[in-house]
Amino acid sequence: MYTPAKERYNIMEYNRCGRSGLLLPKISLGLWHNFGDASDYENMRQLCFTAFDNGITQFDLANNYGPAYGSAEKNFGRILKEDLMSYRDELIITTKAGYDMWEGPYGNWGSRKYLLASLDQSLKRMGLDYVDIFYHHRMDPETPLEETMGALATAVCQGKALYVGLSNYDGETLEQAAAILKDLKCPFVINQNRYSIFDRTVEKNGLKDMTGKLEKGFITFSPLAQGQLTDRYLNGIPEDSRIRKDGRFLKESVLTEKRMEQIHKLNELAAQRDEKLADMALAWLLQKKEVTSVLIGASKTQQILDNIKAIHSAPFTDEELQKIDTYSL
């Protein structure tokens, strides 16, 4: 029977999520990869235990995480039932809907019908009465924003979500959505977007600045650019790497000569800071005032332990920040 480490809350540090009462761990565990039916269940359990033992209280899912769609929620639900349910009130469990989930016109995007049906399915798969945060996973260019935001508000009114969030929005749409949710008195507290040294989209589309202006939380995913910002590819592409196993999210063509040169220069800078490249990449995000938490993915427990070290990284000098920009942009 699993018993969490007593010192777990002395290991992790927590940030307030915008102006809400919610505190989130600086490092959170994402279940995008390695929690589908093709992955080893015992390894999933150990990843969750290692995270919680070290004060990671937030576990991030979506309806279609797998493969197959829904399997990450199903497997996490089994872990909850068998090992973690007695600690439910210590956990932040999040899920999302917005991408393709089931066949037909009602299993995608941002309609009221899709979002509320998907949340019901997610709760059933995880064996929960509610999630802590329910996200709309991406902007829908066809459905009126009022309908999508209204569905999020309904989820809260029904007691099926405590808070709501938005994912993959730009700054302009975020501002519009926030105004609607405010009128609905819906507890919108957080944005989730891709952000890393190599991906500065949120700086260009206004999302990062708007998040700060609206005083909302900001949680980032793909902080290591699918492994590019680690020592994984410094000496070529390993046979057991994500590129070799599953090229959907990181393709070999991304690792151009220029990108490899960038990775090596960033790795050298990290070494000068007495850090690994991954530590530096995570610290670069964590030290930005807008960032509440950084979502990591892991296939091995040691990766979680290594990533947590980033919360104690030394502050960056202006010269180091300039070098990071020069090497990566």
Domains of the chain, start order: 8-225+278-313 (3.20.20.100)
Residue 79, classed as helix, strand or coil, is helix
Give residue-wise pLDDT tens across range 94-111: 999 999 999 999 999 999
Encode burial over 300-318: b for 16+ CB neighbours within 10 A, e otherwise: ebebbebbbebbebeebee
**Residue-level pLDDT at 245:** 61
What is the mean predicted confidence (pLDDT) over 208-221? Answer: 98
In this prediction, what percent of the chain has a pLDDT beyond 70?
96
pTM for this prediction: 0.95
Give residue-wise pLDDT tens across range 30-59: 999 999 999 999 999 999 999 999 999 999
